[in-house]
Amino acid sequence: MTTSTLLRATLCAILGTASAQALALDPLSYANYDQVRTRALHMDLKADFEKKTLSGFAELSLDWLDKSARTLDLDTRELTISKIEAQDAMGRWTPAKYSLDKFDQEKGQALHVQLPAQAPKVRIHYHTAPTASALQWLTPAQTLSGKRPFMFSQSQSINARSWVPVQDTPSVRFTYTARIQAPQGLRVVMSADNNPKATGKGGWKFTMPQPIPSYLLAIGIGELEARTLGSRTGVYAEPLRMQAAAYELADTEKMVEAAESLYGPYRWGRYDMLVLPPSFPIGGMENPRLTFLTPTMIAGDRSLVDLIAHELAHSWSGNLVTNASWKHWWLNEGFTTYVTTRILEVLYGEEVALMNLQLEQEEAIDSLKEIPPAKQALVTRAADTGSDTYTDEGLAYPKGAWFLRTLEERAGRAVFDPFLRGWFDSHAFQSVTTGQFIAYLRSNLLAKHPEVMSDAELDEWLYGPGIPASAKHARSQRLTALDAATAAWIKGELPTAKLDTKGWTAAEWMKFLNDIDNKVDAKRLKELDLAFGLARTGNNEVAFRFYRAAVHAGYRDIRPQLNAFLMSVGRQKFVVPLYTALRANAEDRAWAENVYKSARERYHPETQGSVDKQMAKQ
């Protein structure tokens, strides 16, 4: 037994079995964090838009757990290291020996720093590659004004290593500071304390006083304006997008208050948001203190603000209490999806929350036909050996939320709400596993209320495929009423002109389009389009579902609008299913491939990789 193994065994004995599971090393990280952990990070970097690189140094403050360890192992991907220095006990910096392992397509390269003694700090001088997987460098033409370039990061899940040499695992949390130099006229923002009055003179300076995992490291650089929304909320956006963004996000302060009323104080200081250019690959990224948002959530009527509620909810589930490895992804996203519904209910009422919830559950059920049963569990019992053993990430959102809602409905909110708040409070700023949650659930809920859920049903929710038969399905009165009209329209019994859509919400349009998909022909889709202008709607969630249904129906009159959509929107949730649908039909395949040739450079590397896989399929 090595010293580090002995150390882990000792900690396991002290912490108990459930907590010990958190000590299993993350298979997607090369870091030896059972021997040494990063306590704090300082970055001093310069952004070069011509070379598309960040260059400078990263300084890691270290806590050595294993007294015999003399090596620091870090995660990198395509970083060029120029030198590494180590600080001794007297504060002197001396060169340190290091080596890089062979490149691995998924994990990048391990960086081994050999030290004669346990250094309190190590400083790594480096620069990123233009192809860094976390960074997208946009030309002025890809921005709203067309005047200045833009750059933003997306570190989740293991892409932080492509712009900072770190222990790139959610098991390790650290505070950070930074000084970033950028070209004049561009503002730098980070997942830290952004000062809207800062000028950048002498470099843009940041402090993140709360410990975070590496995937929450975030940076954005561009022509940005700042606007205050509330006493502790604000938004950053390109000047030409600011007015629309500020209107859409006006309820953010109320959302923070609603979440606090349920789950305790917001512990991150300010809650600001950055609205990015449309190539941002996901809906939102919960970077603490500065949520990154897609502009596709701007509908002009605040109908898609559930996205904001979701990213805010991460301030408790995910950022405050974090999955220890990506095997336990549902602890981040399932919890957050549940909390989102509760926030919406407080702000907008039970019926609005129920409509969103029913739509979420129906789409989850529909997604099961595309997911192998072995990938439908919330978590697998198999050893955590890498991404090939992980379950479906997308299903973790609604299925995890459904599981928690089942517990809530059976226990009652008077019992369940304090239970969930207690989970956040007792595990604040920690990284956790499913085993730890099960132990907490058994001790703090099921021991007192065993009737809430049996061991067999608990196992079915966590480790079984699909949605358990015992699950209660959400039913909104408005969406239930919509079913009859939808069925009559599909059968041709209700003419398009008689569809009474005046009071329909975005959720009702989304459900209607989901329910008619693959059930009507191009002629019926054209009638809908002419009657309601769906190919030109400003609501991107509605537009996506209409385009998908149109492709399936062979309604090709909307190609100009669909082309514009695919050329301007890079959100994977939209573009990947649309390209997939287009390639399924020989008449659409060549057209889709030509669109992608023009659009590809506009997409984030993550989106490019996803669409490339679809295009490679025969």
- Report pLDDT digits (tens) over 335-385: 999 999 999 999 999 999 999 999 999 999 999 999 999 999 999 998 988
Give per-residue pLDDT as tens, 148-198. Answer: 999 999 999 999 999 999 999 999 999 999 999 999 999 999 999 999 989
**pLDDT beyond 80 at 5:** no
The yes-or-no verdict on residue 576 having pLDDT over 80 is yes
Q: For 264-279, write each residue's pLDDT tens digit.
A: 999 999 999 999 999 9
pLDDT, position 12 = 42
Instruction: Give one DSSP letter per residue of 174-185, joined into a string.
Output: EEEEEEEE--TT
pLDDT by residue (tens digit) across 25-51?
999 999 999 999 999 999 999 999 999
- pLDDT category of residue 568 using cuts at 50, 70 and 90: very high
Helices (H), 274-392: 306-313, 330-348, 350-367
- Residue 16's pLDDT is 38
Is the pLDDT reported for residue 595 higher than 80?
yes
What is the model's pLDDT at position 9? 41
Q: Burial of 581 by CB count in 10 Å (0-12 exposed, 13-18 middle, 19+ buried)?
A: buried
Lowest model confidence (mean pLDDT) among 239-248, 271-280, 600-609: 600-609
Beta-carbon contacts of residue 452 (< 8 Å; ≥ 6 apart) = 407, 410, 411, 445, 446
Long-range contacts from 589-597, C-beta under 8 angstroms, 24+ separation: 591/559, 595/563, 595/566, 595/567, 596/566
Q: How confident is the model at residue 386 (pLDDT cuts 50, 70, 90)?
A: confident
- Supply angle C-alpha 332, 336, 337, rounded to 5: 120
Give me the residue spans of the domains in the chain.
3-223, 321-463, 477-616
Q: CA-based Rg of the chain, rounded to a whole angstrom?
A: 25
Q: What is the CATH number of domain 321-463?
A: 1.10.390.10
Residue 137 has pLDDT above 80, yes or no: yes
pLDDT of residue 23: 54
Q: Is 440 a catalytic residue?
A: no
- Checking if the pLDDT of 17 tops 80, the result is no
The reply to whether 397 belongs to the active site is yes
Model confidence at 18: pLDDT above 80:
no
What pLDDT, on the 0 to 100 scale, is given for residue 10? Answer: 38
Report which of residues 293 and 388 the model is more confident about.
Answer: 293
Q: How far apart are CA 179 and CA 196, in angstroms?
A: 16
> In the prediction, which pLDDT does 389 show?
83
* Average pLDDT of span 426-439: 98
Q: Whole-prediction pTM value?
A: 0.93
The answer to whether the CB of 379 falls within 8 A of the CB of 463 is: yes
pLDDT in tens, 290-343: 999 999 999 999 999 999 999 999 999 999 999 999 999 999 999 999 999 999
Q: How far apart are CA 605 and CA 19, in angstroms?
A: 36
Q: Which of 311, 345, 362, 606 is catalytic?
A: 311
Residue 22 has pLDDT above 50, yes or no: no
Whole-number pLDDT of residue 217: 98
477-616 and 3-223 share a CATH fold: no
pLDDT in the model for residue 89: 87
Where does the pLDDT of residue 100 fall: very low under 50, low under 70, confident under 90, or very high at 90 and above? very high
Q: Which fold has domain 477-616?
A: 1.25.40
Sign of the CA dihedral running 382, 386, 392, 394: positive
Is 74 in contact with 99 (CB distance < 8 Å)? no
pLDDT at 8: 43
Q: What is the pLDDT of residue 388?
A: 84
Q: In the prediction, which pLDDT does 99 show?
A: 98
- Strand ranges of the sheet holding 97-100, from the earlier edge strand across to the other edge: 71-76, 109-114, 97-100
- The per-residue pLDDT for range 449-464, each reduced to its tens digit, is 999 999 999 999 999 9
Q: What is the reported pLDDT for 24?
A: 75
* C-alpha to C-alpha distances, 521 to 430, 507, 527, 550, 588, nearest whole angstrom: 52, 23, 10, 8, 16
Strands 97-100 and 109-114: antiparallel
Helix%, strand%, coil% for the chain, nearest 5: 45, 20, 35
pLDDT digits (tens, 9 = 90+) for 511-552: 999 999 999 999 999 999 999 999 999 999 999 999 999 999
Q: Are strands 271-275 and 173-181 parallel, antiparallel or unpaired?
A: unpaired
pLDDT for 6 beyond 60: no
Instruction: Kindly name the residue from 126, 215, 397, 579 that is annotated as catalytic.
Output: 397
pLDDT at 606: 87
Domain 3-223 has CATH 3.30.750.200: no
Task: Answer yes or no: are the C-beta atoms of 424 and 320 closer than 8 Å.
Answer: yes
Is the pLDDT at 14 greater than 70? The verdict is no
